[in-house]
């Protein structure tokens, strides 16, 4: 579809990555919310297991509770995936020409793309996580230190007001440490799987 519109390659890549990211995030968002809530639990456990968490959220917050913070999540992943794939396609050709072990030019491009894209959208990721731990059990997360958050813009303003602009990037370092190897493995695997599929198709012909 995008090819039929004759879009520039960079825009085609951006829109493809952004659309895929938005769809995947929306469909799997309840699982992302549960992961964040389980990670935010302290010694005072809010949920005992996966089943109890689903039942409790459905009972106390309703269906909408499973999508708390969806707007900033999609708002974050659309530019993130778009930027990630656009930057990757720009960096991959020059890095592929560098002699690295195991053809890891793809991995190097993935690392740089992931770090740049993650840095650009990190404030929305932080806001998403703040919103995910709202609800009736908010005071029991992270030792009771989770502030009340109402909406994306209000949460962003509250963070800047209390923590300064640097507060929007709290936790960026560890996020990049996690993102870099994940991006490297993802793109290295993607490129090599693609080459294998092309090779298999050629042999069948």
Mean pLDDT of the 157-168 span: 91
The pLDDT tens digits of the residues spanning 126-141 come to 888 888 888 777 777 7
Q: What is the pLDDT of residue 5?
A: 44
Q: Using alpha carbons, list the distances in angstroms from residue 148 to 25, 113, 122, 127, 139.
A: 24, 34, 20, 12, 9
Q: Give DSSP secondary structure letters for 94-141.
A: HHHTS--GGGTHHHHHHHHHHHHHHHHHHHHHHHHHHHHT-STTGGGB
Q: What is the pLDDT of residue 7?
A: 44
Kindly tell me if the per-residue pLDDT of 197 is higher than 90: no
> What's the pTM value of the predicted model, to 2 decimals?
0.72
The pLDDT tens digits of the residues spanning 9-54 come to 667 777 887 888 889 899 999 999 999 888 888 777 888 889 999 9
Largest CA distance in the chain: 64
């Amino acid at each position: 579809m995008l090819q039929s519109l004759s879009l520039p390659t960079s825009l085609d890549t951006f829109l493809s990555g952004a659309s895929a990211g938005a769809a995947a995030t929306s469909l799997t968002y309840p699982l992302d919310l549960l992961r964040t809530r389980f990670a935010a639990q302290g010694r005072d456990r809010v949920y005992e297991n996966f089943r109890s968490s689903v039942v409790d959220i459905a009972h106390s917050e309703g269906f909408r509770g499973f999508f708390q913070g969806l707007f900033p999540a999609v708002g974050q992943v659309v530019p993130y995936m778009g930027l990630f794939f656009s930057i990757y396609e720009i960096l991959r050709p020059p890095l592929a020409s560098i002699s690295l072990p195991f053809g890891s030019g793809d991995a190097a491009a993935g690392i740089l793309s992931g770090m740049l894209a993650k840095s650009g959208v990190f404030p929305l990721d932080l806001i998403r996580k703040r919103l995910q731990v709202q609800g009736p059990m908010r005071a029991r997360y992270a030792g009771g230190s989770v502030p009340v958050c109402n909406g994306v813009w209000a949460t962003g303003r509250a963070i800047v007001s209390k923590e300064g602009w640097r507060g929007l990037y709290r936790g960026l370092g560890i996020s990049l440490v996690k993102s870099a190897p994940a991006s490297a493995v993802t793109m290295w695997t993607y490129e090599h799987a693609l080459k294998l599929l092309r090779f298999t198709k050629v042999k069948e012909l």
